Amino acid sequence: MTELILGLETSCDETAAAVISDGGAILSNVISSQAQIHARYGGVVPEVASRRHLELVEPVVADALEQAGAALEDVSAIGVTQGPGLVGALLVGLSYAKGLSWASGVPLVPVDHLRGHVASLFLGEEPLAPPFLCLLASGGHTLLLVVRDYDSHEVIGGTRDDAAGEAFDKGARLLGLGYPGGPALDRLARTGDATAYRFPIARMEGLDFSFSGVKTALLYAVKDLGDAALAEQRADLAASYERAIVQALLQRIEQAAESMSMETVAVVGGVAANSALRAGLLARGVRVAPLALCTDNGAMIASAARYAPKLLETDYLSIDAYSSR
């Protein structure tokens, strides 16, 4: 009989829950984004996020179960994000999941959020199988990973300063595009000329990344223009800025694949939703996570839970959330 896994994710500003089968089919994937609430502050306010998770976690889980046509008793494991992320936000999901496990007797599986992003590739009709080289590019991380097994990875490169998603968000803010910035910059860039400005691509040692230089270059370009000219140039600036980030990612992926002799390459995380990056990756035969699974979601957490140890009552009661690795 097919076993079902419930996945719960509350590490940042998405309250998300999903039900998957033990074969990796997604039966439901409910995501309630708080982006609108945080938009007026220009970024996620941790305390506000925790309070909203508290209101949303129960209905979101109930919705995920209902859409999957399942009851809690049908579930064989509850996967939940343990970290990294905002500790207050994580604690809401983790405490709720502990309560569910305690009440139902279903084992709990604490999941690392980054392993969750990688596990977005193990779902659906055409799941990817290790080994592969993986770029994880999200709001808080930009990492090159060698994934040899379903349950582990080795870090071979990372950013020295901003994450790629953070660079998108900060660039969007400089261009007056509001929050969340990455998707807005993506949309605007489609209408601009990506060769209008030459923004720098950092040359770091080894397989590391740096995005602070391109961000500073955009800051000066915006300052030099003044308001009227900026309005006219905004789309070209967005397209050129996006191009510099995308090129930096594509170049590093190619270099890493060659130096590690890895044939299969994949990209996961919120930045993998970027349309210019997706086009560049598809042209190079690189696998990219399905669009709906790039930004935070419960399905990827349930997917990672398939390959992580199950904790039985009372072993999970003492586990704690962690903000960083």
Ligand X SMILES: Nc1ncnc2c1ncn2[C@@H]1O[C@H](COP(=O)(O)OP(=O)(O)OP(=O)(O)O)[C@@H](O)[C@H]1O
Q: Which residues bind ligand X (CB under 6 A)?
A: 11-12, 85, 113, 117, 138-141, 165-166, 168-169, 180-183, 186, 269-271, 273-274, 295-296
Pick from 200, 202, 174, 209: nearest CA to 188: 174
d(CA 118, CA 147): 9
Q: Does 14 bind Mg ion (CB under 5 A)?
A: no
Residue 40 sits at φ, ψ, to 5 deg, of: -70, -20
Q: Does 303 bind Mg ion (CB under 5 A)?
A: no
Q: Which stretch binds Mg ion (CB under 5 A): 54-62, 138-146, 171-179, 258-266?
A: 138-146
Which is closer to Mg ion, CB of 166 or CB of 296?
A: 296
Taking the complex as a whole, the smallest distance from the CB of residue 117 to Mg ion amounts, in Å, to 6
Which is closer to ligand X, CB of 186 or CB of 236?
A: 186
Q: Which stretch binds Mg ion (CB under 5 A): 17-25, 98-106, 135-143, 174-182?
A: 135-143
d(CA 136, CA 123): 16
Q: Which residue among 54, 188, 296, 300 contacts Mg ion (CB under 5 A)?
A: 296
Taking the complex as a whole, the smallest distance from the CB of residue 103 to ligand X amounts, in Å, to 28
Taking the complex as a whole, the smallest distance from the CB of residue 168 to ligand X amounts, in Å, to 4
CA 278, distance to chain mean position in Å, is: 15
Which is closer to Mg ion, CB of 56 or CB of 201?
A: 56
Taking the complex as a whole, the smallest distance from the CB of residue 70 to ligand X amounts, in Å, to 26
Q: For residues 61 and 17, is the Cβ–Cβ distance under 8 A?
A: yes
Taking the complex as a whole, the smallest distance from the CB of residue 107 to ligand X amounts, in Å, to 25
Q: Which of the choices ligand X, Mg ion, none does residue 180 contact, using the CB cut-off of 5 to 8 A by kind?
A: ligand X
Which is closer to Mg ion, CB of 186 or CB of 296?
A: 296
Taking the complex as a whole, the smallest distance from the CB of residue 302 to ligand X amounts, in Å, to 16
Q: Does 138 bind Mg ion (CB under 5 A)?
A: yes
Rounded (10°) CA dihedral 281, 282, 283, 284:
60
Which is closer to Mg ion, CB of 233 or CB of 274?
A: 274
d(CA 135, CA 207): 11
Residue numbers of the site for Mg ion (CB under 5 A)? Answer: 138, 296
